[in-house]
């Protein structure tokens, strides 16, 4: 009986020890920013970049981005060491970072509508983006890539021009910034064409593609990918912490705009245009003649001799 009770006590102690270890592992270190503080800092970082874009600044070099980041950290009384430690923690805890951005993006959407962030869509363009409008990528294998597809065979006409516009925000200034954005079109004959570019700085990016052969577009697909650091870009700091620090890329304000392609006029259209212009000219001339004041064009009679004699008398 005593042995049985001792075994139960030992088992309970093991369970308590396990729970304590799990609790300790899930506890956020004191030097890491709280979720609310992290959200406030990220909000001001995004807002600063939106304001830069409104001034016509598309992308910024590393020095400009660093200056923006330092200004925001100073405003929130956060040291660079606290920020770096928080970035490492939230990179490893993607679920917590996702929760932060879920709340953050609601605030950004409201702010963007007030500030007019992003490009102003032309009246003849339509935003057909139906995937996630805001995406977070990290250098972890499971979160480094986002693929999307939009079926458009009943939406787009032949010869359409497509333009993707988005804000790429690299959050970790200490690590390499390199990503890939790609758009692929499956055309009416099942052939494929694509365009891509490689964002390496924070800022707004535009990627354009056109159905130049008028084949029609069945579907649009693409990919966003955050690259893993190359062996030549790994810093001494990363080597010391075993490469645990990761880059984070936030893609926001994503739009995919389409507009009908402007085709050159045919010979018949050119002839019709000339005919219309000629008819307009004739109509204007008729109106001018009709509205002009009438003048008496009856010729005057020649002066008589009597009138001439009278003038001579007056002169004398």
Contact by Cβ (8 Å): 162, 183: yes
**Cβ contact 112:167 at 8 Å:** no
- Which residues, other chains included, contact 258 with Cβ-Cβ below 8 Å and sequence gap of 6+? 125, 126, 128, 156, 160, 161, 162, 163
Distance CA 53, CA 4 (A): 72
CA atoms within 13 A on the CB side of 43: 20
Residue pair 249/143 in contact (Cβ under 8 Å)? The answer is no
- Taking CA atoms, 289 is separated from 2, 35, 275, 276, in Å, by 125, 79, 21, 20
Which phi and psi (to 5°) does residue 259 adopt? Answer: -145, 140
CB 50 within 8 A of CB 103: no
**Is the alpha carbon torsion for 272, 276, 278, 282 positive or negative?**
positive
The predicted structure's pLDDT at residue 64: 75
- Residue 158 CB burial class (10 angstroms; 0-12, 13-18, ≥19): middle
| Sequence-ordered list of residues with C-beta below 8 angstroms from that of 167, at least 6 positions apart, any chain | 46, 49, 50, 53, 118, 203, 204, 205, 251, 252, 253
Please give the Cα distance from 283 to 5 (Å, whole number): 112
Backbone angles phi, psi at 133, to 5 degrees: -80, -20
Q: At what angle do helices 80-92 and 62-75 cross, to 10 degrees?
A: 100
The predicted structure's pLDDT at residue 134: 81
Residue by residue, pLDDT tens for the chain (316 residues) are: 555 555 555 555 555 554 444 444 457 788 899 999 999 998 888 888 777 666 666 556 667 777 888 899 999 999 988 988 888 888 778 778 878 888 887 787 776 555 554 444 444 678 889 888 888 898 877 889 999 998 775 667 788 899 999 989 888 777 888 999 999 999 989 999 999 999 998 888 999 999 988 888 889 999 999 998 765 555 565 555 555 677 889 898 899 998 766 656 566 656 666 566 666 676 666 666 666 666 655 666 665 555 555 554 444 4
Pairing outcome for strands 192-197 and 179-187: antiparallel
| Residue in this structure with the two tokens 């879920």, named with its chain if needed | 102
Predicted pLDDT at 4: 53
Q: What is the pTM of this model?
A: 0.64
SS3 for the chain is CHHHHHHHHHHHHHHHHHHHHHHHHHCCCCCCCCHHHHHHHHHHHHHHHHHHHHCCCCECCHHHHHHHHHHHHHHCCCCHHHHHHHHHHHHHCHHHHHHHHHHHHHHHHHHHHHHCCCCCCCCCCEECCCCCCCEEEECCCCCCEEEEEEECCCCCCCCCEEEEEEEEEECCCCCCCCEEEEEEEEECCCCEEEEEECCCCCEEEEEEEECCCCCCEEEEEEEEEECCCCCCCCCHHHHHCCCCCCCEEEEEEEEEEEECCCCCCCHHHHHHHHHHHHHHHHHHHHHHHHHCCCCCCCCCCCCCHHHHHHHHHHHC
CA–CA distance, 196 with 181 (Å, rounded to integer) = 6
């Amino acid at each position: 009986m005593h042995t049985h009770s001792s075994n139960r006590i030992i088992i309970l102690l093991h369970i308590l020890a396990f729970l304590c270890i799990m609790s300790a592992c899930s506890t956020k270190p004191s030097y890491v920013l709280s979720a609310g503080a992290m959200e406030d800092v990220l909000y001001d970082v995004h807002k600063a970049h939106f304001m830069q874009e409104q001034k016509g600044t598309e992308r910024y070099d590393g020095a400009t981005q660093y200056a923006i980041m330092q200004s925001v950290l100073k405003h929130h009384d956060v040291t660079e060491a606290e920020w770096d430690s928080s970035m490492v923690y939230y990179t490893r805890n993607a679920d917590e970072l996702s929760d932060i951005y879920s709340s953050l993006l609601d605030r950004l959407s409201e702010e963007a509508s007030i500030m007019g962030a992003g490009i102003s869509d032309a009246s003849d363009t339509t935003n057909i983006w139906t995937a996630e409008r805001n995406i977070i990528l990290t250098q972890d294998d499971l979160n480094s890539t986002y693929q999307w597809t939009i079926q458009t065979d009943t939406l787009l006409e032949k010869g359409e021009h497509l333009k993707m516009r988005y804000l790429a925000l690299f959050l970790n200034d200490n690590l390499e910034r390199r990503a890939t954005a790609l758009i692929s079109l499956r055309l009416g004959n099942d052939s494929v064409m694509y365009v891509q570019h490689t964002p390496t700085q924070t800022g707004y990016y535009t990627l354009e593609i056109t159905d130049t052969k008028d084949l029609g577009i069945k579907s649009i697909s693409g990919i966003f990918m955050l690259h893993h650091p190359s062996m030549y870009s790994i810093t001494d700091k990363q080597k010391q912490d075993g490469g645990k620090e990761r880059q984070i890329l936030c893609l926001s304000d994503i739009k995919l705009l389409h507009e009908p392609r402007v085709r050159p006029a045919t010979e018949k259209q050119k002839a019709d245009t000339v005919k219309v212009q000629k008819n307009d000219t004739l109509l204007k001339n008729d109106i001018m003649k009709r509205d002009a004041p009438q003048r008496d064009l009856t010729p005057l009679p020649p002066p008589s001799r009597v009138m001439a004699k009278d003038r001579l008398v007056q002169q004398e």
